[in-house]
Structure 1
Amino acid sequence: MYWVMAILPFALLLLGFPIFLLLLTTSLVILLLFFDIPMTVVHQAIFNSLNKFPLLAVPFFVFAGDLMSRGGITKRLLRWVASLVGGFRAHIPMTSLGFAALFGAISGVTTAGTAAVGTLTYPRMREAGYSEKFAAALITAEGALDNLIPPSIAMIIYGIASDTSVIQLFAAGIGPGLLLAGLFGLYIYYYSVRTGISDSGRFSLKEFVHASVDGVWALGAILIILGGIYSGVFSPTEAAGVASVYAIFVSYIVYREATIAQIFESGARAMQLTGLIFIIVAVAGLYSWLLTISGIAQATVSVITSIHSEKWVVLLTINVFLLFVGCFLDPASALIMLTPLLAPVAASLGMDPIHFGVIVVMNLTIGTFHPPFGLNIFVCQALFKTPSKTLYAGLMPFVGLAVLALMLVTYIPGISLWIMRLLS
């Protein structure tokens, strides 16, 4: 049975099965061949996977992020970031990076962040003389910041799967997200110097003031979402609903750049993307339930912890394993499947569950822009038609920097936990 559970999903993946069908097929085969229990457990396990209140935040955050892109909020955020970094060298890619981090604070969907940031900043980088390889790779990699900087749908899913606090996970993701953005910023500066591209502008206090006044409503979205969550005014799920109402109000009433039709289009897109996420969550929940009742979860704990008595070696092994998984599975699927296996390992090592959650999410975040199957890679190629060979080559420095950030976060818990402890 164990070999079937391990090999069958991989074989179906090679045959091109969609992730949800892969997991559902494997689960049904295992139940029919190795368990003598009623098939009604399938419906019960699927229902229980989705019967989680925090999951309601997913469609609201997706809707709010999409509508903000349509309704002029993201354009004003971009102008504000550009006015802030206008005096720096490489200010165009720096603006793109800062905008990606800022957009992560109002969205939470990495693919949505890649599309929203890319459509606005990629043409500007190309016009400034940056190569297709660099510009496309930066857009692809920086979109992953949405998975770390709150609100993060990946953090929500991990919190549900591990029964840990979503609010604490949000707070713990800020430090690693800023660290990753900082390393990317250093590479952008180095690349600009090495290639001789001097696109530095001049900081203008007048432009900064105008951009701040024009974007006050856009910046208010971040204040309301994060301020409301960490002040205890509302939960992450309630914050998602408030963000949606705020997006409608600002886009339609204040800026008047979104029509009723566009609001409904954002709603339709949110439903479509939520359906894609939830169908994976549902069947992955069934598969993870089978992993637990079959004893594989307990066996995995024993195998990993017996590799070596040193805690750092076990963590390194987990990181290598998750980086490999992240190359082939999307974060939602991997989180639902692997969290029941790995959370007990972390507990046996005496790790803080919030710190370990950040490690898991960060690993799978790297997978979103790691060749060959990163989700953001597909988004970038769909938007800009960048050849795979070109994009893969451009991504390697960003992957290397992300792995460096992962190692620092893994072995220095304070990077993740200091903000959480500060806010608690």
Structure 2
Amino acid sequence: MAACGLDFGTSNTTLGRAGADGPRLVPLEERHVTIPSAIFFEPGREPVIGRAATEAYVEGTPGRMMRSLKSVLGSGLIEETTPVGRERVRFRDVIGRYLAAVKARAEDAAGESFDAVVHGRPVHFVDGDAEGDRRAENTLREIAHGIGFRHVAFQYEPIAAALDHERSVRREEIALIADIGGGTSDFSIVRLSPERHARADRAGDILANDGVRIGGTDFDRVLSLGTVMPLLGLGSPMRREGLTVPNAYFHDLATWSSINRLYNPRTRREIAEIVRDGARPDLIARLSTVVELERGHSLALAVEGAKIAASDDGAGTVDLEWVESGLAAAIDRATLVAHTGRLAARIAERVGRCLAQAGLRADAIDALFLTGGSTRLPHVREGLTACLPGARVVEGDTFGSVGIGLTIEAARQAA
């Protein structure tokens, strides 16, 4: 039985296998071991995934782009359908097609078939809804069976990251694992040591698990609503006194998983009526352009890029020249913090909840292990380290630690 560890993330996906040289991530897109969780449907052709999906969309190839697929798990969207060419496809089937393509690529690269998988999962798919969590995991299990995995197990993503970190631990320690990804922020407090690493049963070493459904795509959404959507008419008045333009269009356009909802004749007609009846038709005309051209994902990609630039370099720009000559939104680090500071604070609050669950004080934590792309945001990082001022900060592989840990777990279960 060939087993693998599969980290299907909101933004990126990895798949790993364990061999004689230890756990390794398998190349999924040319030399890359990480592949964006994106799929593009071009009429009359097989869908493409990853970077190729984004490139096809950006180059203007006719078709349908979908990204952040994982975010629909646990929501009502999972059973809904979306138009793909002349057919309507369930979102669960879109996820199945994406993961089937990932599995096929991994098997081709590894030269073997995988019939067992340890899937990563957030601590909570849905905040405060145990039944929603159960449904989300069951959906992912059904999808995994549907694409050819006979044996399917799950591991919390922060626990998987802890297994990766433990490979470098030289003496016993208590670590708080923070996995801040594209869709969720997950935390575990785990007792680690070289001796414990060899044990099959680690349940007693897991002192706390907690998480919140906030991740990088939420930062993108809030930043877009605060800086870009007002340029397209968000908050602008209608001619009729006391009314403003409906917010729903802008919220859908700012949310990765909802963008495709706008691409239908009814929505286009509604926006045309708002152009006619709005007090600022010049702004709503910009919204109309984005929807008519079906460029919502281009907008979301630009906001994400500006967020990263503001985080890494201090400033970024959302270039909207394709909407209107000279149009752009400038985002610097202060703007980023002003719009998303509350999200960062809500993530940091989970550290205290984890400590309380474990019955520990902050000074009992020896190491703070950081993984996930959103740990690169300075105010997120600062909020986490401020909660544990005495802990040693350990940098994990931003996009690979969870996948490696899942692969370690898969090898244990297959042994």
Using the size of structure 1 for normalisation, the TM-score is 0.27
**Of Structure 1 and Structure 2, which has the larger fraction of its residues in helix?**
1
Using the size of structure 2 for normalisation, the TM-score is 0.27
